Structure 1
Amino acid sequence: MITLTDISKVYKNGSLEVQALSPVNLQVERGEFVAIMGSSGSGKSTLMNIIGCLDVPTSGSYNLDGQEVHTLNEDQLSRVRNQKIGFVFQSFNLLGRQTVLQNVMLPMMYAGIPRETRNERAMELLARVGLAERVKHRPTELSGGQKQRVAIARALTMKAPILLADEPTGNLDTKSSYEIMDLFKQIHAEGTTIVLVTHEPDIAEHADRVLLFGDGKLLKDTRKGSVSS
């Protein structure tokens, strides 16, 4: 599903160069649940942005579900992000003036899906995440855990095969965090490939595989039952 070959990323600020990622080689198989860990500045968020086609590597190649990403133009990348990748962020990224239902329907609107179909699909997903009674509420009327449930429902609207989650429990209390992780595990059990960034070991334990990054390098690749470096 995801193949990174000799991926590096260098950020330039005038004459200063910062090596955010040293050559990284990584494969994520279809249906895996992978957690990426590392301290601030370790390269984990840069890696996530590259996987999500939100940033491009300085060198190396990225193959996503059989497509060489570097050969795609902006319109093609937008379609990949819309159809193949669902995003969940720490800050939820919900539109405050829109209702819960409208927020969830957004990706389908951009894809040109008819309104009736958008509405039906969004209602189904909100019921699934336990928010059927909140469809007319606005994000300001929801708790942190409820906002993240809306974000997850929105990420699932296009039935994307990959779900990327960047610190999805970072703004949540412990109880809400575990409820959200239970939801991720249900989604994973249905066949979705999940890549999750977290700095919390107890959250990473929900994954089947943990990648530890430091100084832009993959330091350790741990699978349940085995360890490789």
Structure 2
Amino acid sequence: MITLTDISKLYQNGAVEVTAIKQISLNIKKGEFVSIMGPSGSGKSTLMNIIGCLDTQDSGSYELDGIQIESLQEKELDRVRNQKIGFIFQSFNLLPKQTILRNVELPMIYGLYSRKERVERAQLLLDKVGLGDRIKNRPNELSGGQRQRVAIARALAMNPSILLADEPTGNLDTASAADIMHLFSQLNEEGTTVILVTHDPQIADYGTRIVLFGDGEIRSDVRKTHDRNVGETSGLTREFWHRT
């Protein structure tokens, strides 16, 4: 589904040129749950932005679901983002003055759904994340974990094949974080490809594959075996932190 080949990204910081990622090559198959992990400044968020078509690489090629991304114009990129990728962020990014039903409905305005279809689908998605009885509430009337559930429902609005989550549990307590990660696991089991950026080894362990980043390069790429439970990979990540 995703093929990155020799991807590099440079940033200009005054007179200094900073390399964010260096000739990264990465393949992600449909239905994988990939945790991208690394310390601050390691390049993981830059990679996430490129995968999500929010930024472009300076060199290398990116193929998404058979589409050569660097050849697309901005309107075509907008269409890819809207139809193929659902985004989930640490800060939720909900509209505070709108009901949660309206928040989930909004991405569908740019699709082919009628008003009735949008409302019905938003209701179904909020039911799916356990908030079907709160559709008239606004975000400030919900807990952090509930707001992240709304954000997940919104990300699913256009039925994307990929969910990109950037530190989705960073603002949540431990219990709420576990609930959100179990929801990601459930969505992955239903066939959604999940790509998650985190600095937390315990959160990364929910993935079926863990890609460890350091200094703009992939340092390790580990696929978990089917009989390995959540938490058992943390020794690998602890060893990585010790080395770096």
TM-score range, shorter chain: over 0.9
Q: Does 2:79 align with 1:79?
A: yes
Show the 5 A alignment for 1:37-76: 37-76=37-76
Q: Note the C-alpha offset of 1:98.
A: 0.8
Looking at structure 2, the residues matched to 12 and 199 of structure 1 have their Cα atoms a distance apart, in angstroms, of 25
What amino acid does structure 1 have at the position aligned with 2:26? L
Looking at structure 1, the residues matched to 122 and 48 of structure 2 have their Cα atoms a distance apart, in angstroms, of 26
Looking at structure 2, the residues matched to 198 and 187 of structure 1 have their Cα atoms a distance apart, in angstroms, of 18
Looking at structure 2, the residues matched to 135 and 112 of structure 1 have their Cα atoms a distance apart, in angstroms, of 22
Looking at structure 1, the residues matched to 112 and 33 of structure 2 have their Cα atoms a distance apart, in angstroms, of 30
Q: Note the C-alpha offset of 1:112.
A: 4.2
User: What's 1:9 paired with?
Assistant: 9
Q: Note the C-alpha offset of 1:113.
A: 1.7
Looking at structure 2, the residues matched to 216 and 113 of structure 1 have their Cα atoms a distance apart, in angstroms, of 41
SS of residue in 1 equivalent to 2:191: coil
Looking at structure 2, the residues matched to 200 and 14 of structure 1 have their Cα atoms a distance apart, in angstroms, of 32
User: What's 2:177 paired with?
Assistant: 177
Looking at structure 2, the residues matched to 109 and 134 of structure 1 have their Cα atoms a distance apart, in angstroms, of 21
Show the 5 A alignment for 1:1-229: 1-225=1-225
What amino acid does structure 2 have at the position aligned with 1:180? I
What amino acid does structure 1 have at the position aligned with 2:57? P
CA deviation profile, 1:116-161 (whole Å, cap 9, x unmatched): 0000000000011111111111111110000000000001111100
What amino acid does structure 1 have at the position aligned with 2:39? S
CA deviation profile, 1:89-112 (whole Å, cap 9, x unmatched): 000010111110000001101224
Structure 2 residue runs without a partner (length 5+): 227-235, 237-244
SS of residue in 1 equivalent to 2:222: strand
Structure 1 residue runs without a partner (length 5+): none
Looking at structure 2, the residues matched to 185 and 225 of structure 1 have their Cα atoms a distance apart, in angstroms, of 15
4+ residue runs of structure 1 moved beyond 4 angstroms?
none
Q: Note the C-alpha offset of 1:15.
A: 2.2
CA deviation profile, 1:196-217 (whole Å, cap 9, x unmatched): 0011111111110000000000
SS of residue in 2 equivalent to 1:212: strand
What amino acid does structure 2 have at the position aligned with 1:107? P
Aligned residues: 228
What amino acid does structure 2 have at the position aligned with 1:52? G
**With structure 2 as the length reference, what TM-score do the two structures score?**
0.91
Looking at structure 2, the residues matched to 112 and 138 of structure 1 have their Cα atoms a distance apart, in angstroms, of 26
